[in-house]
Chain A
Amino acid sequence: MDFSIFLQQLVNGASLGSMYALIAIGYTMVYGVLRLINFAHGDFMMVGAFLTLFGYSAGIPFELSVLLAIVGSAFIGVMTDKIAYKPLRDAPKISLLITAIGISFFLENLFIVLFGATPKAFNAPEYLTKVFHVGEIYLPISVIIIPIVTVLILTFILYILYKTKYGMAIRALAFDIPTVKLMGVDADRIIMIVFIIGSSLAAIGGIFYAVSYPSIDPLMGIIVGLKAFAAAVLGGIGSVTGAVLGGFILGFTEIFVVAMFPELGGYKDAFAFFFLILVLLFRPTGIMGEDLERSRF
C-alpha cells in the first residue's frame, strides 16, 4: 500500500469511526445509569437521518432541518424512556431489555409506515458533497468535517461529565441511584439528560451517515447500531472514553482490512462481531473497563 492510499484510508477510517463513536456513547451512557443495553438506540440514528430528510425536503434550510432533527430525536429518546423504560425501573433487567427490543421494532416499523420501506436518496447540500483532490488523495468535504465535529462534540461531552454538577450527578448515578436521591437530586431528571445526550449524538451520527452514504432506509439503524454496540463493549461498556476508543478502532479496522484485502470486502460487517467475540472471550470488561462493577465513565 503506498503512502497516499494509506492517508486516504486513514481519513476514511476516522470518518467511519466517528459515526460509531457517536452512537456508542449513547449505548454506554444509558448502560452506565440504567444497566440497560438500549437496543432501540441504533434506531435513533435512523430517526435523526429521516427527520433531517423530512425537514429538508419540506423546504426547511438544511442546517435548520439538522437542528430540528436532533431536537426531535432527543425528544423521542426522552419519551421512550418515560413511556417504556421508566415504569420498569424496579423490574428485572431482562424485562427492560425485551422492552428495548420492542421499541426498536416499533420505531423501525413506524418509519416504514410513514416513509415507505424503499431506500430514500439523501441529497445533502452541495457544499457538503464537494470533493477536494490533494495530490492523489480524494477528500469529500464531509470526510473532513465529520471527525472534526465529532472531536468537538466529544470534548463538550467530557466537559459536561467531568466539569459540571450535572455530569457529576450522572457519574454518581452510575454508581448508586438511591443515594443520589438522598442528595436531593431528582434522579429521573438526570436520567432524562442522559437520554437527551445519547439520542442527540445518535441522531448526529445518523445525519453523518446519510451525508456519507447518500441513501437511507428505516432499517439502516440495525447493523450500524449493532456495530456501535460492539464498539461500546470493545471499549468497555459504561466508559465514555472507552466507547470513543472502541468506535475508532472499529472504524479504522473496517476500512483498512477492506483496503488491504479487497476480497474480504463482503465480510466487512463481520469484523465488528469478530471483535466482539474476541473481547468477550479474552477481556469481557473491554479495553477501558477494569472491573464490571467499577467501570463507570
Chain B
Amino acid sequence: MLRVENLEVNYGVISAVRDISLDVQSGQLVTLIGANGAGKTSTLNSIVNVIKKSGKVIFNNKDISRVKTHNIIKSGLALVPEGRKIFINLTVDENLRMGAFNNEGFENFKSEVYDKFPRLKKKKSQLGGTLSGGEQQMLAIGRALMSKPKMLMLDEPSLGLAPKIIGEVFEIVTELKKEIPILLIEQNAFAALKIADYGYVLENGSIELGGRADELIGNDDVRAKYLGG
C-alpha cells in the first residue's frame, strides 16, 4: 500500500531523518515507535510533502515523492496530524466538512462518522476549540475519514490525553484497523505494539529495528528502552 525508500529530511544543516525505508501492506496496522525527537513526525510530514525531503514514496503503486500535499490527500492518503490541529474557529460540523472538501455526498459520510463517534454528534454545532482533548482527537480522526481515504496515518493520537482517554483512542484505532491500513506513530510504544501487526523502532532519525509487533514486544533491547524493562 505504502512504501517509503531511503527517506531523508534535513532542517538546514541538522539531519532529522536518515535513510528510512518502511512498508505498509494493505490490511496492516504498522507502528513507528521511538522517543521524543527521534524523527517520527518529520517522517510522516515528509511523506505527504508538508516538509521537504529526498527519497522515494510509493502509494497505491504510484510514485508520490514529488506530488503536492493536497493532491496526495486527494489520492487517498490521509494524515491525522500531531496535536490534532482541529480548526478551533470552525464548528464540529464544519471541521468534518473541511475533511470532505473534495467529496460529494458529505451528509452520508458525516452520519457515518457520527455513528462512530456519538459524542461528537451531540456537539456538532459547537466550535472545535471548545471540545476536550479526547473529543478533539476523535474529531481529527473523523475529519480524516471524511475524505474516504485508502490509508490512514496517525501522528501520536495519545499525545497529551488522560490515561483513560488514551485507552478509548486505542480502542478506536483497533476498530479502524479492520477497515483501513494504518501507519501509527506513537511514543506510547507498548500500547501501539499491542495492537499493531508490524513495528519499526526509530532512534536518532534512523530505523534501528523492524519486525513483527509481537516479536518486538518480546525483544529485550526494545523492552529495556521503550517498554520500561
Contacts and interface: CB of A to CB of B under 8 A. Distances in A.
Contacts of A171: 87, 89-90
Contact of B85 (A168, A169, A179, A187): A179
A211 B74 CA distance: 47
Please tell me the size bucket of the interface on A.
20 to 34
Interface in A169-196: 169, 171-172, 174-176, 178-187
Nearest to A189: B70
A151 to B, nearest CB: 25
Contact of A183 (B68, B89, B147): B147
A168 B90 CA distance: 8
A165 B97 CA distance: 8
Nearest to A180: B98
A80 to B, nearest CB: 22
Contacts of B70: 181, 183-187
Contact of B50 (A172, A182, A183): A182
A296 interface: yes
A182 B73 contact: yes
Interface in B149-202: none
Interface string B12-53: 000000000000000000000000000000000000101000
A130 interface: no
A71 B187 CA distance: 53
A175 B88 contact: yes
Contacts of B74: 184
Contacts of A133: none
A106 to B, nearest CB: 30
Given A165-B97, A178-B50, A184 B85 contact: no
Contact of A172 (B71, B81, B87): B87
A286 B102 CA distance: 36
Contact of B69 (A165, A181, A297): A181
Contacts of A178: 50, 81, 85
A185 B71 CA distance: 8
Contacts of A179: 81, 85, 87
Contacts of B73: 181-184
B79 A182 contact: yes
A110 B26 CA distance: 59
A175 B48 contact: no
Given A181-B50, A182-B50, A184-B147, A175 B87 contact: yes
Contacts of A182: 48, 50, 69, 73, 78-79, 81, 85
Contacts of B101: 165, 169, 183-185
Contacts of A174: 89
Nearest to A179: B85
Interface in B116-159: 143, 147
Contact of A296 (B48, B79, B89): B89
Contacts of B97: 165, 168
Nearest to B75: A184
Contact of B98 (A183, A294, A297): A183
B94 interface: yes
B89 A184 contact: no
B99 interface: yes
A279 to B, nearest CB: 23
A181 B85 CA distance: 12
Interface of B: 48, 50, 68-71, 73-74, 78-79, 81, 85, 87-90, 94, 97-99, 101-102, 143, 147
14 contacts: A165-B97, A169-B101, A171-B87, A172-B89, A174-B89, A179-B87, A181-B50, A181-B69, A182-B69, A184-B101, A184-B102, A185-B98, A185-B101, A296-B89
For the complex of A and B, the 5 pairs showing the least CB-CB separation, nearest first, are A184-B73, A179-B85, A181-B69, A184-B74, A172-B87
Interface of A: 165, 168-169, 171-172, 174-176, 178-187, 294, 296-297
Given A169-B98, A185-B102, 12 more contacts: A165-B101, A168-B98, A172-B98, A175-B90, A179-B81, A179-B85, A182-B48, A183-B101, A183-B147, A186-B68, A186-B70, A294-B88
